[in-house]
Amino acid sequence: MSVTLAELAARFDCELRGDGDTLVDTVGTLDNAAGRAISFLANPQYRASLQRTRAAAVILKPGLETGCPVPALLASNPYATYARIARFLHPVPGHEPGIHPTAIIDDDANVAATARIDAHAIIGADTRIGDGVSIGPGVVIGKNVSVGAGSRVHARVVIMDDTEIGERCVLHPGVVLGADGFGFAPEESGWVAVPQLGKVVLGDDVSIGANSAVDRGAIDDTVIESAVIIDNLVQVGHNVHIGSQTALAGFAGVAGSARIGQRCLIGAAVLINGHISICDDVFITMHSTVLRSIDEPGKYSSSFDTDKADRWARNAVRFRRIDEQLRRRN
């Protein structure tokens, strides 16, 4: 689909600079875009790439258009505007409703006529699949599950009993929702498994990346509020509560009963201790360890950057001696 730059400017509320008849039909990076591709510049560090771009047009912040060699769309948030334009030019393919003959659906399940169920999917009793839902090949859905309208469940996702999924959610391949949390009571002879009696509840517009796991609650539910985005390979423990519009990057781990507020940004490989709370609007940088509650919005970090091994070892020894040195001074 080709569209003029003037049409994009009107549709996405941008200011047009240059030839409005310029046609675009795809997207690309500043360095590699060519032909009818539109690109964007959100970081001024890439202005050198802007000056040599062969894109048909570029999305920019006002004030960055100086020296742009091609027509431009000016937007206060170029990256978000690019995302909307990319989705407009490359819409998610629709699906034909229907049930593959190899799917196994319990007689007591309720599947909307507009849903699609792909090959070898399994759907348990009393489960409800809403309008326009797409269930990919090899998906396993347990009993008494609800999947809201417009949600997409990709290949080999496992959704355990009693899970609730809102509307327009996206579960990428390999996601597991509602497996037992890590609940064991110690005694002298070993470990006693604690029954995990809660469930997982997802709000609307939640996206969960490939091979991530969200455990069911031990007693109360594990809750992921609306518009939360979770990257690949993330672990969310039992009874965790994550507020709306929060994002968790890859390899993050959240231990049981932690509570994360709204609009938080949890960086890659961040580890969050159990039974603590993080208030709204907190940004935790990558590879940090959060052992105590955070009750003030802001940016938080821990750990150190990579260093030469011998210098790192010397500094580690010094760090371990800080407490002893302070006691001597006092």
Residues belonging to the active site: 238
Q: From the CA atom positions of the chain, what is the Rg in Å?
A: 25
Q: How many CB atoms lie within 10 A of CB 306?
A: 6
Sequence-ordered list of residues with C-beta below 8 angstroms from that of 101, at least 6 positions apart, any chain: none
Query: What are the tokens at 106?
Result: 């319990």
Instruction: Determine contact, residues 41/60, Cβ cutoff 8 Å.
Output: yes
Contact between 231 and 209 (Cβ < 8 Å): yes
Terminal Cα-to-Cα distance of the chain (whole angstroms): 74
At 133, the amino acid letter reads V
d(CA 125, CA 324): 62
CA distance 7 to 138: 41
Nearest to 303 by CA among 274, 269, 255: 269
User: Would you state the structure tokens that stand for residue 58, as one six-digit string?
Assistant: 């570029």
- Distance, in Å, from the CA atom of 90 to the CA atom of 29, rounded to the nearest integer, reads 15
Q: Do 255 and 272 contact (CB within 8 A), yes or no?
A: yes
